Each structure stands twice: as structure tokens, then as C-alpha cells.
Structure 1
Amino acid sequence: MATDPIPLAQALIRCRSVTPADDGALDVVQRALEPLGFACTRLTFGPDDYRVGNLFARRGGGGPHLCYAGHTDVVPPGDLGAWSDDPFGGVVRDGLLFGRGACDMKGGIAAFIAGLTDYLAARPDHPGSISLLITGDEEARSVDGTAKVLEWMQAEGKVPDMALVGEPTSRRALGDTIKIGRRGSLTARIAVQGRQGHSAYPAQADNPIHRLVAALGPLLAAPLDNGSEFFPPSTLQVTGFDVGNAASNVIPAQARAMLNIRFNDLHTSEALTERLHAALRAAGCAYEMQAECSGESFLTRPGPFVEALSRAIARSTGVEPALDTGGGTSDARFIARYCPVAEFGAVGATLHQVNEHAPVEELRRLAAAYRAVLEEILG
């Protein structure tokens, strides 16, 4: 019989691992992996007031080396009174597993370990090596998790040949989507300086709102691009605008805006930052700008790895997966600096929602799909 991922998923959900707390979640993973022959290394990073636990586990020493990456941390449950059950109870009802992380992504980790267990039972002498990179810092800062573990892996000579991130990528049916890339994300905070004055005497003032609007206008008037081979068009959104002024007859001294750009592989954060600077200079702004990129865009082009992943998913689910690059960012953005990476997991219908849940049978089918991935890639 196939290994059931549900008991392990329940054990993980019952750990109140809201970032950066672990509450024993990594212990649960380690206890599941060590009997399978995995050598486990615990890695802790971060300042004293924000310590983050991580786990790297590996079985085998040769190639090809496939790494599964995931996270045991979860977002806060929100209004507890809105939940039908304890968000950390792992309740199964009407064929659904409820709890924070059931969908994103404790259920996925449990499914991979269940599929891995079945694969190893059939192929204890499998070629190559299998590793897991499990972090407790994906849902918040994403500073002391996957990125730091990858630095350690490189220093220790443990960088994989390819990596599979178990984020819930499927849209409507399990297996319908593989993510082979992600857009980059650039956030800019702009403060334009002016000269305060009476609105009836504008010649004696310098309205920073007008200058800021003049700078933003051309940026918003035309699309950044029309998309590329694997990516949709890049987008620029004004996500904040503030002048701190309650008086209707006063021209303020300062205007602030916040922008977020989700950009494809036609751009870099450096080039987009310079584009913002150019627009502000053209509008004659006296300004300050802070720009921060949480991740550049990346793409794993279709090749042997993506093709093997597609074959395994189609064989196990009966669904031909589409290749996609949409959505927000994930830890795959860090892994892409080291090796080819793709993402495949459950249907993400309720991630981060009240009463987050995953269908029990879907998680069991996901475990079978992960076993098929291991068979396809390692043999």
C-alpha cells in the first residue's frame, strides 16, 4: 500500500510554526527522514531576536542530485473566531484536511516524504542522491532561510544538479501547472520635496504633488513591455501616495509615493531603478528614492529536467501540465542562482485563507506524483 501523507501533514500542522517560530516542525521532518537513511543537518541563522531554524537532509552522494525545497513556517491564522476548527488542529472532516499550512505547504512536504518513502522502498539502491532543503523563513523576511542554507551548501560542496520547490502551483486540477520561472519584484519609495505655501499664491510655492504626478504619468501611460516568450507583460503599480496634508488651502512641502514593479526577463532591477530616476529627473523633482529588489526574474528553460517533470506529472495525474511563470515570488528565486529549478505542488485554492484546507485524496495523489518524479529523474 502507498504511504499515507495525512498523519505526517497533521503532525506538521499541529506545530504552531508562525515565522520565525518552529515549535518542533523541523523535528517532525527530521524524525520522518532519518529512518529512510537521510543524514540531517540543522542550520540556525538570524539575530538573537529572530532565530530561524532550517534543515538540510541528504541521502546518497553521487549524481544526479535532486533537491526538494519547502518551508514549514506559516502565516498567522488571523481571526481565530472565524475558523471552524483550531487552525493548528489538523482536523480531517468531509475528506478535507484543515489547518494553517494544509495547503501552503506542510501538506506538500508530507506528500513528498510519503512519495519518497514509497520510492525508496522500491529502489533502495537508487542512483544519484536526494536532498531536502526545508526552511522556517519563507513567509516573512526570507533572509535567514533558503538563501543562507544555499550559501552553506555551496561552501560544503552540496549544490544540487536540479531542484523542485513544492509550492502549491496547480490552479484547478492537480498537475495542471508547473512554474518554470517567476517575475522579479522591485519596490520603490519616493519622497519629492517642494516648498509649502498658500494655494491662492502658487507662484510663491513649489507643489511637490504636481512634480510627482508629472513623473509618474509617463511611467503609467505606456506598458513597460508586451511580455516575452515565457512571461506576461511587466506591471507597475502605485501602491501608496501620501502628502500628510489635511488643509485644502495649503500646498504641502513633500509628496510621497510607493511603487511595486513585477518584471519579466526583459528587465533587471538595476535598469528599472534607473528608469525611475530618469522619470523623476525629467519632471524636475528634488527627491529621494529607496529602491529594493526582493528577487530578480528567473527562468528555467524547457530541457531534460522540465521535460522529465512534465512526463512524471502527466503519467501520475493524467493531466498535461502547462508551463507558467505567473504569481508572486518564492524561494525558487534564490535557488535559481545555483541550479535549474521548477515548482510543482497542490492546488493553491485556500492558501493563507481562514479555514485553509487541502483535499485528503489530492495530497495522496500528490505523493504518488512526487514518487513518479523521483522515478523519472533518478530511475
Structure 2
Amino acid sequence: MELSKTVNLAKELVCIKSVTPDDNGCQDLIAKILEPYGFSIRFISSNGTKNLLAFHGTGAPLTLFLGHTDVVPTGDETTWDYPPFSGKIITKDDGKHYLYGRGSSDMKGGDAAMICAMLEYIEQKPDHKGTIGLLLTSNEEGDAVGGTPYVVEFLKKENIIPDYCIIGECSCDEVFGDSIKNGRRGDLNATIVVNGIQGHAALEQHAKNAVFEASRFISAMLDNPIDNGTQFFPPTSFQVSNISAGTGADNVIPGVCTLRCNFRWNDLQTPEKIEKHVREVAKSCGIDCTMDFREEGKPFLTKEGLLIDALKASIIEVTGITPSLGTSGGTSDGRFIRHLGTQTVEFGPVSNLIHKVNEMVCTEDLDSLTRIYVKTLEKLMK
């Protein structure tokens, strides 16, 4: 089977083990592809994070493609059907071909589509109006330290403010083309240490199980949602991502239980409001605990504009599907770009397999994604 340029590049990137924040050569490979087309290329590194910033053309408008080359860990590789960095092309029961491997969906397939779309457009219009840019970071899946927010500060200092930003993250819900994410909720993490009284498992009358206390707190949080959502955003969510307790001995009642919690918050909230809510819930239950909160990113929203109009029209032309606008799902580095005043959207493959064992992406969708990006550039860069 002959693979397209987009799928070949995505396959090559998937075969590079670039677990966050280690780029491991992905951006060097991409730079070598861009250089013959006349891109100005700059590598910006900080705190172990590598960023690639590339521009073609001059003046306005500036359309920036935004992505990341890092991937989440694979977990136990023996649970995968094939090696997770094999870049294998498989055929499923639906008769379609899929690129298999960690990062195929999130988001090396999107990276490849953005890059190949830029190059195809430049081949057609080497003297195009305005500027086409690409920003890739190796620390999107991690804490973003030294990543996109660091580069945004550089852009502000240099007065390089994109007019439009397209992010190739997975945005579609059920079928390719069904959703543009024109915003995302904010991201807030908390460490909550619940205190009990350690004791012998056979003398429960002299102890208080911290896990039971933590479970009471979790139940109370689920019974008291933070909000019910807004016109543009779903409700603020509460999730327990990690839990630890105990001494390792079977006959000891744990005196401490540590919860790692995550909140995805909408435009009704602030980190301060969420923290107040959580503390009030714990107090109402009589939970003895300490809490530490850390904001990871604010919500962002692009309600309307030329970017949404151009992208929506291009999706309809290629897929025949009219996409909805939505803000559900995870956050992205768009939260750092939007606050420059840049019209910012995410559009990429279907999101149902990201971060999972046996992650894969339909190769047909990647080729369609490339065509959509080319058409969008044609509409934006007139």
C-alpha cells in the first residue's frame, strides 16, 4: 500500500519514542523538512523542553499552526497488540487503514497534517500573502514548563502576535469532521491529604480509617457539583486521578490518605472559587485534611470570526459534514495563545483512542485533515 506524504511523516514521527518532555529528534526531523521550503527556523529550549518555531513569508495575516511532539507514557507495553512505537499500518474490520502507536492520534498525526498542508500550500503559492507559522513543543503532555507559555513570552517580546491559530489536536467526537473545539475548560490540580488515626486492623474502635474518610469526601463532592455549566462550556468537573494510603502491611488501618484531584473549570469559575467550594464540602463532612491547589491553565473561547468560518467551510467541502462548535474534552496549549487576542481553534482526528492502549488513527482522516488545512489557508491568506 502506497502511503501519502502525511501518513509517511506521521509514521516516521510515531516511530520516535518521545515521551514528555523528551523530543528525541522529532523537531530536528521536521526542521530538515521545512528548511528547503525557505522557512526561518528557531529552536527555543528551556528547562529540558525543546520548542521549534518556524515562519514562512512576511506580514499579515499570521496564521500559526500549533502542536506538540511529546507523547504520554505507554504503560505496560505487553498489553499492546503491537509495539507502541512501531508505526505499524493495520487494517480494521471496517476495511480502513490505521496508523498504530503511541502519539498517532495525540498528536503526531495532526502534526504531520499541519506540516504537509503548509508545504502543499507553499508549493502552490510560494509568494503567498502574509505569514504561515509553526510552533511545536516537547512539553504539552507534562507541566508545560519551558514549553508553549515560554515561547508565548518570546512572541510578546518580539511583538509577533498571530491573527489565527489552528491546533491539530483531536477534536472530533464520533466521526471525523463532526466537531471544532473553539475553546476548552481550564485545568486545576489539587493534592488533598486526608487524616485519620492509624491503628491495628483488629482494633478498629481505636482508629479512624483515612481511606474511609477520603471516600466520604469524594461522595460529598459528587453529591455537590461545582456548577451546571454555561452556554458555551460543560459543567466544571471533579476527578480523582491518584490515591495512595497505607503502610504496606495488611493489618494496619491507614492514618493518612492522599488524593490527587483534577478540576476542568468553565467561565463561571476561578481557582479561588473552586478551592472555596472544595474546602466547604470537606468542612461540612467534618473531614480533617490539608489541601494544596495548582492552576495549570485558564479556559479559553473563540466565539466567532474568520477562522471559524473558513475552517467550517473547508470541513464541509472535504467531508460533507457540518461541524458543531464545542468546548468539551481536555485542555490544550491553545489556552496560552488565545490570551494574545488570537482567534484560536482546535481541529483534528477523532479523540476516542487518545492516551489509550492500542492508540491509532485512521489514515484516511489524516489525508482529509491535510486537505482541510490547505483549503483553510486558502481562505485565510487571501
1:217 deviation in Å? 6.2
Q: Rate the CA distance shift 1:12–1:364 in 2: closer, same or farther, 3 A.
A: same
Q: Deviations over 1:95-118 (max 9, x none)?
A: 332332222211211112222222
- Give the one of 78, 99, 104 matched to 2:106: 104
- Give the one of 73, 78, 83 matched to 2:70: 73
1:41 deviation in Å? 0.2
The number of residues matched between the two structures is 370
Inter-partner Cα distance in structure 1 for 2:238 and 2:213: 19
1:218 deviation in Å? 5.4
Q: Could you say what secondary structure the match of 2:325 adopts? A: strand
Tell me the TM-score normalised to structure 2 length.
0.85
1:292 deviation in Å? 1.5
Kept in 1, the 8 Å contact 2:246–2:255? The answer is no
Q: Is 1:30–2:31 an aligned residue pair?
A: yes
What's the counterpart of residue 381 of structure 2?
378
What's the counterpart of residue 357 of structure 1?
360
Inter-partner Cα distance in structure 2 for 1:191 and 1:357: 37
Q: Deviations over 1:137-170 (max 9, x none)?
A: 1122322211111111211222212211100112
Q: Deviations over 1:248-297 (max 9, x none)?
A: 997x7655544332221111112111222344455566542111222222
Inter-partner Cα distance in structure 2 for 1:129 and 1:110: 19
Q: Match of 1:163, as an amino acid?
A: C
What's the counterpart of residue 300 of structure 1?
302
Inter-partner Cα distance in structure 2 for 1:375 and 1:5: 19
Q: Rate the CA distance shift 1:15–1:286 in 2: closer, same or farther, 3 A.
A: closer
1:185 deviation in Å? 2.6
Unpaired stretches in structure 2, ≥5 consecutive residues: 92-96
1:314 deviation in Å? 1.4
What's the counterpart of residue 326 of structure 2?
324
TM alignment of 1:7-22, pairs within 5 A: 7-22=8-23
- Give the one of 183, 187, 191 matched to 1:189: 191
Inter-partner Cα distance in structure 2 for 1:85 and 1:240: 28
What's the counterpart of residue 261 of structure 2?
259
Q: Deviations over 1:59-79 (max 9, x none)?
A: 122111111001111223344
Q: Could you say what secondary structure the match of 2:5 adopts? A: coil
Q: Rate the CA distance shift 1:218–1:120 in 2: closer, same or farther, 3 A.
A: same
CA RMSD of aligned residues (A): 3.0
What's the counterpart of residue 166 of structure 1?
168
What's the counterpart of residue 310 of structure 1?
312
Which moves more between the two structures, 185-194 or 114-123?
185-194
What's the counterpart of residue 56 of structure 2?
59
Inter-partner Cα distance in structure 1 for 2:80 and 2:241: 30
What's the counterpart of residue 94 of structure 2?
none
Q: Deviations over 1:310-347 (max 9, x none)?
A: 11221222111111111122222222222231100122
Q: Match of 2:33, as an amino acid?
A: A
Q: Rate the CA distance shift 1:213–1:120 in 2: closer, same or farther, 3 A.
A: closer
1:371 deviation in Å? 0.3
Q: Rate the CA distance shift 1:312–1:45 in 2: closer, same or farther, 3 A.
A: same
Q: Rate the CA distance shift 1:38–1:224 in 2: closer, same or farther, 3 A.
A: same
Q: Rate the CA distance shift 1:176–1:257 in 2: closer, same or farther, 3 A.
A: same
Which moves more between the two structures, 77-86 or 3-12?
77-86
1:9 deviation in Å? 1.8
Q: Rate the CA distance shift 1:113–1:238 in 2: closer, same or farther, 3 A.
A: closer
Q: Is 1:234–2:236 an aligned residue pair?
A: yes
Identity %: 38
1:216 deviation in Å? 6.1
Q: Could you say what secondary structure the match of 1:336 adopts? A: helix
Q: Could you say what secondary structure the match of 2:105 adopts? A: coil
Q: Rate the CA distance shift 1:356–1:275 in 2: closer, same or farther, 3 A.
A: closer
Which moves more between the two structures, 313-322 or 367-376?
313-322
1:171 deviation in Å? 2.5
Q: Could you say what secondary structure the match of 2:106 adopts? A: coil
1:228 deviation in Å? 0.7
Q: Is 1:126–2:128 an aligned residue pair?
A: yes
Tell me the TM-score normalised to structure 1 length.
0.86
Kept in 2, the 8 Å contact 1:265–1:297? The answer is yes
Kept in 1, the 8 Å contact 2:198–2:252? The answer is no
Kept in 2, the 8 Å contact 1:215–1:282? The answer is no
Q: Match of 1:224, as an amino acid?
A: I
TM alignment of 1:127-166, pairs within 5 A: 127-166=129-168
Inter-partner Cα distance in structure 2 for 1:248 and 1:30: 58
Q: Deviations over 1:23-58 (max 9, x none)?
A: 221111111111222100011111xxxx22110001
What's the counterpart of residue 340 of structure 1?
343
Q: Could you say what secondary structure the match of 2:191 adopts? A: strand
1:361 deviation in Å? 2.2
What's the counterpart of residue 39 of structure 1?
40
Q: Match of 2:377, as an amino acid?
A: L
Q: Deviations over 1:2-32 (max 9, x none)?
A: 9731222222223222222222211111111
